[in-house]
Structure formats: structure tokens, C-alpha cells
Amino acid sequence: MDTLGAIVRFFQQGGAFMYPILFVFAFGVAIAIERWMYLTLSGASNRALWKKIVPFLKAGNFQEAAAHTAKSKAAIASILTYGLYRVKSARRRDDIEKAMEESMMEVLPRLEKRTHYLATLANIATLLGLLGTIIGLIRAFTAVSNANPADKAYLLSASISVAMNTTAFGLMAAIPLLLIHALLQTKTNQLVDSLEMASVKFLNAVTERQLNPSGA
């Protein structure tokens, strides 16, 4: 209870700027949760689809593989579908690769969507904290100038202490948001790398079947 009371006093003493900082932090956390869930589910669906179509690729049954990718909403499905539809008409490996790269350019924005907001929100939280502190200091100096000389030192130190609450809270909101942003960036990069690796494996499988149609 003492800890909860201290947190409530800390928040109340910070003044009006504590509320927009709290809103920015809550908004950032909401984005982080949504992005983490999306990337996690996307990675799982990609792995499941790839595991399902690998036997068809090895057997050279590209029509059946295309049927599975067309029904899936996974990120990798769009890339593989582009490649599979180009297998019949393409004469060179480069033609298939370009089609898959085009699809990759469509998929990437969906994976990176809103993640960059977290860094911006962290900066906003920090700046709001600094602004709240500056305004608090201005009010403190104004109040002290009209106070009893004997009480000025105490009033000034107390006012500065309260004014610093917004900066502290702004940093408390910004640091986790920056850490989460870095984690999501890493997770996104890993997902993109896995898509690129799957694309290369797909191209190798297609090329192998074209060079050795009998599968011998």
C-alpha cells in the first residue's frame, strides 16, 4: 500500500503533463502488443505453410503447391504464389526471382507497419516530460519571488523536486518504448530473413526440377 500511495503522490505532484505522457505510453504499449502478436502469428503461419508445401516442391507438383498457397493468408503465401504462377511461363530463374521480389515489396510494409511509431512516441514522451519540468520551474520561480525570504530556499527546493517528476515520468515511459521498438525491429528482421531464405530454397527446388524433370 505504501508503494501504491507513493506512486499516486508522484503522479499527482507531476501536474497536468503526467496525463499526456501516460496516454503516449499506453498508446505505445497497445501498438507494441498488436505488432508482437502479428509478427508472432505471421512467423508461425509462414513455418506451417512452408512445411506443408515442401513435399510438393520436392516432387515437382507445383500445381498442388499453388493451390495451398492461394488459400493461405500467410506472408510467405503471397511470395510463393507469385513464384509458382511464373514457373510455367518463365524460361529463366531470374524471371521467377523478379516476380517473388515484387511480392516481397508488397509484404514488407505489412511487416514493418506502425513499428516506427514507437521510437517517435518515446521521443514525444521525453519532450513532454521536459516541457512539464520547464513550465513547473517557471511557476516555481514565480511563486518563490513573492514568498517570504526565510521560506524561499525551502519552497524553491520543493518546487524543483515536484517539477522534475514530469521529466522522470517521461523517461520512464520512453525507455521501455525504445527497448520494445528494438525488439520488434529484431523480430521483423528475423521474419524478413526467413522469407528471403524460403524464397531461395523455393528457387533452388524449382531449378532442380527443371534441370532434372524425371526426379532421378
In a domain, 46, yes or no: yes
In a domain, 89, yes or no: yes
Expressed as residue numbers, the domain containing 165 is: 14-211
User: pLDDT tens across 115-154, in order?
Assistant: 999 999 999 999 999 998 888 888 777 777 776 776 666 6
In a domain, 84, yes or no: yes
Cell representation of residue 114: 506502425
Tally of domains in the chain: 1
In a domain, 1, yes or no: no
| Contact residues for 215 (Cβ-Cβ < 8 A; gap 6+) | 59, 60, 209
* pLDDT score for 210: 64
Between these two residues, 151 and 63, which has the higher pLDDT value? 63
* pLDDT score for 216: 46
CA–CA gap between residue 216 and residue 214 (Å, rounded): 5
* pLDDT score for 212: 62
pLDDT tier, 1 (very low <50, low <70, confident <90, very high otherwise): low
| Contact residues for 21 (Cβ-Cβ < 8 A; gap 6+) | 125, 128, 129, 132, 166, 169, 170, 173
